[in-house]
Structure 1
């Protein structure tokens, strides 16, 4: 008998009249707000403005959500297509199913395109985003707790996750021991908690490293460190999970992706230190662009406020 465990929530949504508010979606929104706050603070420190960062966010966030969903649809097509699939489920993201790889890829592409359009240093933007992304992902994992999904293998550890079988746990149908049904009262590895802690530690480390080695690391290094930290943690955490996932040579696809991205990021980090631009140099460029924007806006205001003489 387990005397200590992590309980699962009894509710995952609230209804206010005709509106249903899912806690999963709320966690994602709170994570986005925190990421914008942290990122804009770092961006302003390098000479940018909140409005600049907000404009980038308005492009990157929707693209990131679409990319996250597309990655999930592509990697688990049987849930949406085929004899047992429901294509409408693609649009119900509150039921779970967002792939971080798709989010980063499409979100980063949108952010790069906007920075390219405005002339902002993309490497500085990536560095500004790095710790906030980890915080956002940590908060987002709470949504998995509310949905009772994506937990790990059975465990007897005192911090094991206990499902609330009276609720509507998305993950209750997951397999236990090679397809056998889990005994009542089985506890599971709280992989959402492991990833939350891992991400928060990573965010703190990136902030600390970027301050201690500000003059030695090239612009873009903080973002690459984020990728290295996240993929290292995702590799071992993913191996604990028991939710359905496609495998290659007996290993979950996301594990292979994590390893591949980790190796690629390590190579990029080495090349970046040799050929990348200094943060101070790009910061000066951003300050110059910000001043030029301010002068243009001031000129536009003067023109709009002027009136022809009668």
Structure 2
């Protein structure tokens, strides 16, 4: 009993009351001309791309897409998406690059340094979709079919990629006393000025990661039940993601562009999420009126694979065709079969003596008896109407 009381007294100290700040953010690879820094943020983004691409390729293959076409598409979509995501981040958080109020005090050299963090999802989706459209046109498949296959994988990639914000100690929420509060290194440049060093913050990266993982399961379950087509699953993804992004974005305290609309001033990402949600809802409803496409194919018109022509045998080729069996007559061929009981000729076969008999001669009684006695007969037998 005493041991249980001691364990209970120590348990609060064993259970962490917060999420610790990361003590690792990457590693260096030594090279002859210096070190190559591999950032944890980039590794998280890469891991998200790999896992999301795996799920997309599995779903794309099940739709009957041409083999290898997914790679022809993503080779355009991924670079376009990264560029678009970076451009959106620069526009939505311009102070570091252009200075406050675009006063020129920013550092433009930071724009291409993606390893420092900063990719806006909506810029990535828009330019990534343009890249995917190019790849789809080159592969002869429908963009609407591809984005339906890619929607759950895209959400899965975002769930994994969000952990890059944790390793960069960025994009966290306001102060909190919840037991899952996030610790931020006070010496980190992202630590809010004027706050105590032991302040805990909302782990918005974790909220969004969990929200996205739940969304993957939701999208897969709904698609399995309703088999969405015409890009409706993609618009469902957009609605789900923005629904969570609004409340998560409102928790964040990092610097962002503020926009005033309808008398309300809030972050640009909040307004973007609201408008994208409404647009996605309208597209989802309107596309639902069209019903399922007929035929339900991933190929663009006139790009369907040609059906294999029927194989015509070469006239000069000799084919092994079995000839039909000939009809066996009682008086001809069947009579040549040996008798199963004695090995002699069939009782219905005329003997040489019978064949030699003059025309019109009638067989004697002995011959008649021989016809019924089978192999014991020594004389000629007449031809019987039926054999036994």
TM superposition score category, shorter chain reference: 0.7 to 0.9
Q: 2:277 aligns with which of 254, 257, 262?
A: 262
Paired residues for 1:70-89 under 5 Å: 70-81=87-98, 82-89=103-110
Paired residues for 1:82-231 under 5 Å: 82-165=103-186, 169-172=188-191, 174=192, 181-214=194-227, 217-231=228-242
Q: Which residue of 1 aligns with 2:383?
A: none
Matched, 1:29 2:40: no
CA drift of 1:20 comes to 0.9
Distance 1:152 1:272, change over 3 A: same
Whole-Å separation in 1 of the counterparts to 2:74 and 2:189:
31
Matched, 1:247 2:266: no
Superposed CA deviations along residues 170-224 of structure 1, whole A, max 9, x for unmatched, are 522x35xxxxx1112110000000000000000111011100112xx33312111
CA drift of 1:88 comes to 0.9
Q: 1:9 aligns with which of 7, 11, 22?
A: 22
Distance 1:136 1:290, change over 3 A: farther
Q: Which residue of 2 aligns with 1:306?
A: none
Aligned residue for 1:111, secondary structure, equals helix
TM-score, length-scaled by structure 1:
0.85
Higher helix fraction: Structure 1 or Structure 2? 1
Over aligned residues, Cα RMSD in angstroms?
Answer: 2.3
Matched, 1:57 2:68: no
CA drift of 1:288 comes to 9.1
Whole-Å separation in 2 of the counterparts to 1:77 and 1:187:
27
Q: Which residue of 2 aligns with 1:300?
A: none
Aligned residue for 2:162, secondary structure, equals helix
Whole-Å separation in 1 of the counterparts to 2:136 and 2:23:
44
Whole-Å separation in 2 of the counterparts to 1:279 and 1:220:
15
1:40–1:49 contact (8 Å) kept in structure 2 = no
Superposed CA deviations along residues 3-54 of structure 1, whole A, max 9, x for unmatched, are 6001111121111212211000000011111111110100000111451001
Whole-Å separation in 2 of the counterparts to 1:225 and 1:239:
22
Matched, 1:238 2:249: yes
Q: Which has the larger radius of gyration?
A: 2
CA drift of 1:257 comes to 0.4
Whole-Å separation in 1 of the counterparts to 2:230 and 2:151:
12
Distance 1:265 1:91, change over 3 A: same
Whole-Å separation in 2 of the counterparts to 1:280 and 1:132:
25
CA drift of 1:290 comes to 6.8
Superposed CA deviations along residues 118-164 of structure 1, whole A, max 9, x for unmatched, are 32011110011100111100111110000000000000000000113
Matched, 1:271 2:286: yes
Q: Which runs of 5+ in 1 are unaligned?
A: 176-180, 296-310
2:81–2:124 contact (8 Å) kept in structure 1 = yes
1:194–1:237 contact (8 Å) kept in structure 2 = yes
Aligned residue for 1:80, secondary structure, equals helix
Q: Which runs of 5+ in 2 are unaligned?
A: 1-11, 309-388
Paired residues for 1:273-292 under 5 Å: 273-275=288-290, 277-278=292-293, 281-283=296-298, 285=299, 289=303, 291-292=305-306
Greater RCO, 1 or 2 (C-alpha within 8 Å, sep 6+): 1
